[in-house]
Amino acid sequence: MDRRERRRLELARQKQLTLQGVERLTSVFILPHPEFLKDDMRHLRPDPEVEAIAMGEAISFEENAGRTVEDIHEKDLGYDLSSVDPKSGELRLIEVKGLSGSGGTILLTPNEYRIAQDRRDCYWLYVVTDCKSRPNLTPRKDPANCPWEPIQKIQHYLLPLAKLV
């Protein structure tokens, strides 16, 4: 009943809206990364099947160790799983990465990397390789200690007006 009433109020408010002139702020032309077909870049595209297998492996690993696991990957907190050992109280914030093959490159988002640096005491990286054949999980505590290479991206382009001609 509450939801229905909220929806009625929302519809009543929408009757008061009017469409006015539209002002275009910008246009964007999006192209694929120039190296997207290279083997090293190809695996960086999301594969829902591989991600699901990797998450399942990580959850099973934690549950088999007697820990209580919560899947929170949709909350975008910088990690995918929260795990607690009921006996010791140890907390694990786990980022899960899955690869379809036995090798490749792991990519952390800026948010994942920041949390890994901030929570070195309890942040874990679980890498699951060979997800489409025989999954193999490798846990790594404090992955911020690894030699990560930052990826620089262009944020803006600058052109002095005198050079426009």
Query: What value does the mean pLDDT take over residues 3-31?
Result: 82
pLDDT tier for residue 23 given thresholds of 50, 70 and 90:
confident
**Of 99 and 33, more confident:** 99
- Which among 124, 32, 45, 39 has a CA at the least distance from the CA of 78? 124
What is the pLDDT, as a whole number, of residue 102?
87
pLDDT value at residue 37 = 64
Tally the residues of the chain: 165
| Strands 68-71 and 91-98, bridge-based pairing | unpaired
140-162: pLDDT as tens digits: 999 999 998 887 776 667 777 77
- Can you give the pLDDT at residue 56? 96
User: Rounded distance, CA 123 to CA 157, Å?
Assistant: 36
Q: What is the pLDDT of residue 34?
A: 66
pLDDT, one tens digit per residue, over 51-105 is 999 999 999 999 999 999 999 998 989 999 999 999 999 999 999 999 988 888 8
Other beta carbons within 10 Å of 46:
7
How far apart CA 41 and CA 19 sit, in angstroms, is 44
CATH 3.40.1350 corresponds to the domain 39-145? yes
Q: Structure pTM? A: 0.69
Under a CB-based contact definition with an 8 Å cutoff, are residues 123 and 142 in contact? yes
Q: E strand or H helix at 7, and its extent?
A: helix 2-14
Condensed to tens digits (0 to 9), the pLDDT of residues 113-142 reads 999 999 999 999 999 999 999 999 999 999
Residue with tokens 């907390």: 91
Tokens representing residue 47 in the block? 């594969």
What's residue 113's pLDDT? 93
